[in-house]
Amino acid sequence: MNILVILRAVLDPNGFTVNRRAQKVFVNREQFIINPSDKNALEAALSLTTESDTVVAVALGDAPAEDALRQARAMGAGRALLVRDAALKNADATVVAAALRHLVNHLDETRLVLLGAEVLDADLAQVGPRLAAVLDWPFIEGAHQLEIHGSTVTAIAPQSDGFHKVEADLPAVVSVAPDSNQPRYAPGAKIINVYKDRHAVETHTAAELPLGESGLTSLTERRGESFPPERELGKRPEGSPDELARQVAEVIRKI
Amino acid sequence: MDMTHISTLMGEAVTAENYADIWVALPALRAAPLLGEARRLADALGCYVHAVIADKDLSQQAIAFGADRVHVAAEAVSFLAGQQPEFVFFPVSQGRQAAQLAQRLHAGLITDARNVSLDDSTRALLGSHPVYGGEYLLDLAITSLAKVATLDPRFLPEPFADPSRAGEVTAAPATDGRPPTAARDLGRVDYAPHPWRPLTKAKVIVSAGRGVKDAEGFALVKQLAASLGAELAGDQSARDSGWVDEAHQVGVTAQEVAPDLYIAIGIRGDTMHNAAIARARQVIAIHSNPDAPIFAVADHGVVASPKEFLPKLLEHLA
């Protein structure tokens, strides 16, 4: 049985600054990290596996994605699959979900797909539910404390009125809440080994999946960036203590 | 426009004319600003606004806020998948449903869209999506025939209610075909996420200083932190009083923090403290001294004694 973990490489927020006045993103150092909550998903997968399971790390993209996969191998993932194709450069969530569906079919015996519930950059948090929809698998969002019992997976997930225990039949897609666990560190020797091993990451192209022209058509396109207004000087609301409390409560609620 | 798009338009039964109108999923009245936004776009386009509600009692209000037709459907996603909506708006809390619908309609989706507008020449839906925790926004355009977006009602203007508006209410036909495979809810559990996150990564921090006076005042601060799900912290004086340890002391020599919201209660705000919160996105300060330096770095400053102010604030937050 395979447990698939989807990893996304994102630009390290420490490597760039956003200047709202100049309306520009200044990249000081272009370095990539594994999307933090995907690391939680990987940790959840590694702690769920029994001896008959393999954790398969999956990523789409170029060198940063490959680095993410090597780190995952060093952390303990059994296999790593990279889909690398120039046609995927402007892929949106639809294309990513289509590619992942083909990967899941290609691997067969996949019983669980895990991914992070929050993505720092442009993913828009729709890969999980879209993938679940194309596979017609159940989807659990923002899971804590994943457990597998026989042919079902249980988790604690947030609903509108607090945390609920939810259960889904396998196979399933589960997005793992950020900070729901503490991702393990990769041992240094292992990191060196996976970078030496040329076969640590298996690479596929879109055509091998097979992902045709229609599967590669994005439905959204990027038209640029915009910036929130510059920070203004602080306000000092006036009024009776009760009125003040109401105003502050309003401000807190808006965040 | 690329070739595949043209062939979809020309060759298939799917033509642009079949997709029409703006549809709004309205699970609760809280999401009413979405209807106002839909009305605004519909007036510019000259099309109808449909509201999809689960609760029949909301239909009159939905019409007053701008819906031309109200559909009462228990399952918004299955119902909408059977229609041919050109635009669908969901409240941001229903991102999962929006993504499922988008996948079934082969539609593009912008989650948490801000500044929604239309590209007049192509009828593309334009919206901005915040990235890196709102540091900046990506401007996106949806080019598919059906277009889905989730909007946050908190960032939209209050809609104008016209009680004399007329509209139609229809009960949606029961959808044939089984609903998508879903997870089962086993009921509510008492669960508090374990804070793996160190203070430096906390999203919301409630921080106390000497101005809260005593243990009684600090208990109120604790209560506020618990009600907001926030991390509890303090400045140097709070540590001296034994309320917090070094891991929870905010200061240049202790922890530098960058939360979305920082609430400083009874903190005078010395240089070491204020420099450590420079990267906080919003700062609310509560202190009895109007000349306290903390007010120079606060977005919202309240001049009040914390011990009197906090019970009122807790009351309003409940």
Would you kindly state where each structural domain of chain A is located, as residue ranges?
Answer: 2-222
Best probe of the B interface among A20, A33, A124, by most B CBs < 10 A, is A124
Which member of A25, A130, A165 has the closest CB to residue B99? A130
Q: Does B119 touch chain A (CB under 8 A)?
A: no
Q: Does B315 touch chain A (CB under 8 A)?
A: yes
Question: What predicted TM-score, i.e. pTM, was given to this entire model?
Answer: 0.79
* pLDDT tens for each residue of A175-219: 998 878 889 999 999 999 999 988 889 998 888 877 777 778 888
pLDDT at B157: 85
Spell out a b/e string for B55-69, using b for 16 or more CB atoms within 10 Å of the CB, else e.
eeebbebbbbbbbbb
pLDDT at A123: 63
- Residue B286 to residue B269: CA distance in whole angstroms: 11
Per-residue pLDDT tens, chain B, 318 aa: give them: 444 454 444 444 444 557 888 999 988 888 889 999 999 999 988 889 999 998 888 888 889 998 899 998 888 888 888 888 999 999 988 888 899 999 988 899 999 888 889 988 888 999 998 888 777 888 999 988 899 999 988 888 888 888 888 888 888 776 655 566 788 888 888 887 665 567 877 889 999 999 988 889 999 999 998 888 888 999 999 988 888 888 889 988 788 888 889 999 999 988 889 888 888 888 999 999 988 889 888 888 888 898 888 998 888 887
pLDDT at A106: 85
Place of tokens 């666990």: A181
* Cβ-defined contact of B309 to A159 (cutoff 8 Å): no
Q: Which residues of B touch A249 (CB under 8 A)?
A: 313, 316-317
Residue A70 C-alpha, separation from nearest chain B C-alpha, in angstroms: 24
pLDDT tops 90 at residue A3? yes
| The Cα angle at residue B70 between residues B68 and B72, in degrees rounded to 5 | 175
Q: Of A114, A15, A30, A119, which Cα lies nearest the Cα of A72? A: A114
Residue B304 C-alpha, separation from nearest chain A C-alpha, in angstroms: 7
User: Of chain B residues 138-177, which have a CB less than 8 A from chain A?
Assistant: 138-144, 154
Q: Which residues of A touch B228 (CB under 8 A)?
A: 252
Which member of B104, B189, B284 has the closest CB to residue A156? B189
Average of per-residue pLDDT across A141-168: 89
pLDDT tops 90 at residue A71? yes
- Residue A92 to residue B108: CA distance in whole angstroms: 9
Question: What are chain B's domains?
Answer: 3-171 (3.40.50.620), 199-317 (3.40.50.1220)
Query: A210: burial class by Cβ within 10 Å (0-12, 13-18, 19+)?
Result: exposed
Biggest CA–CA distance in chain A, Å, is 69
Best probe of the B interface among A148, A153, A252, by most B CBs < 10 A, is A252
Helix (H, G, I), strand (E, B) or coil at B126: strand
pLDDT at A41: 95
pLDDT at B285: 92
pLDDT at A124: 67
Class of domain A2-222: alpha beta
pLDDT at A58: 94
- Residue A110 to residue B132: CA distance in whole angstroms: 31
Query: A37: burial class by Cβ within 10 Å (0-12, 13-18, 19+)?
Result: buried
pLDDT at B3: 44
Q: Which residues of A touch B183 (CB under 8 A)?
A: 138-140, 166-168, 172
Can you say how many angstroms the Cα of residue B107 is from the centroid of all Cα atoms in its chain? Answer: 22
pLDDT at B251: 86
Residue A91 corresponds to which tokens in the numbers above?
A: 């892929």
Q: What is the full DSSP assignment across B169-182?
A: EEEPPPPPSPPPP-
> Least CA distance to A17: which residue of chain B?
B135
- Name the strands in the sheet holding B125-131, side by side, starting at the edge strand that comes first in the sequence: A220-226, B136-142, B125-131, B108-118, B147-151, B85-91, B20-26, B49-53, B69-72, B168-171
